[in-house]
Each structure stands twice: as structure tokens, then as C-alpha cells.
Amino acid sequence: MMAGKFVVSLALLLGLGSGLAFADSNNDAAAVPVAALAAPNLFAKPLTLRGTLGDAKIEMHLQLKPDPTEGIQGSYVIAGQTAKILLAGESENTDVIMEESVNGKDVSGEWAGTLVGGIFTGTWSTTDDAVTKPFVLTVQGPAQSARPVK
């Protein structure tokens, strides 16, 4: 099912993108907003995000899995620590759901949020929902992604 949505999203993205290339350059109200183009294919390129998970500063990296129909994967690091926490999940429209693993085998937490306008917000929770934390992460541009998390 995700494969079909991915193909349709890609076709829509390419169709809308080519339509913009031929659009009037007078910036009239009929132009398609950039956010409308980004939503169907959030992970077309790998993303680096920075922000907070509760009170901790983190840096997260997300990308499509080698077979894009299988969803997304990535990792994050908490500022001041070296251990990468692995992530795997899926996205539909702007909704993103992921599980994390500290040891690479067992699920240690869950992420549920939305990625809109370059901001990924939502709630992280332990697998039993005993602990929850809000998160707010901002997509970094190419020039910013080389800086370490402080």
C-alpha cells in the first residue's frame, strides 16, 4: 500500500514541479505553495534535524530505507553523548511514526509527530507510555548540517 502512495506522490510531485517551471513569474495567488510540493515526499533527500527532546538537545538524521516502500530509517544523538539511537518507521502525508532502539534489537521508545514547514513536532514515549516527552526539531539546511550539536 505504501508503494502505491509513494509512486502516486512522486508522480504528483513531478507533475506539480514541472507545472511551476512554466508558471507565470508574477507571483500571482494561483501559484502552488512550496509546502504543498514538499508534503507528499518529505524524505526525498536525507534530512538532518536539530532541536529538543524534553530538556535534551538532539540531532537526528532521517532518510528513506533502501527500498522506499519499507519506510524511513535514521538515528539520533543526544548532545554530550556519543551513542547513536537507531530509528525506523513510516510517514504518510505529514504524519511520522517511528520506533527507536538503543541496542539495535529491542524497541526502547516511540516517536509520533508531524513534519510541516521544516518543523517536526510531537511526542516521544517509552514503549509502555510510562514516560512521555515533547519534541521540536527543525530541518537543517545543507550549510548548517556540518555543525556539531552543542
Q: Nearest CA to 53 among 141, 129, 112?
A: 112
Mean pLDDT of the chain: 77
Q: Nearest CA to 139 among 106, 115, 122, 113?
A: 115
Q: Do residues 16 and 36 make contact, with C-beta atoms less than 8 angstroms apart? A: yes
pTM surpassing 0.85?
Answer: no
Residue 62 is predicted with a pLDDT of: 96
Q: Do residues 60 and 76 make contact, with C-beta atoms less than 8 angstroms apart? A: yes
pLDDT at 145 over 70: no
Bridge partners (DSSP) listed for residue 12? none
Bridge partners (DSSP) listed for residue 132? 125
The pLDDT tens digits of the residues spanning 93-137 come to 899 999 999 999 999 999 999 999 999 999 999 999 999 999 999
Bridge partners (DSSP) listed for residue 87? 74, 100
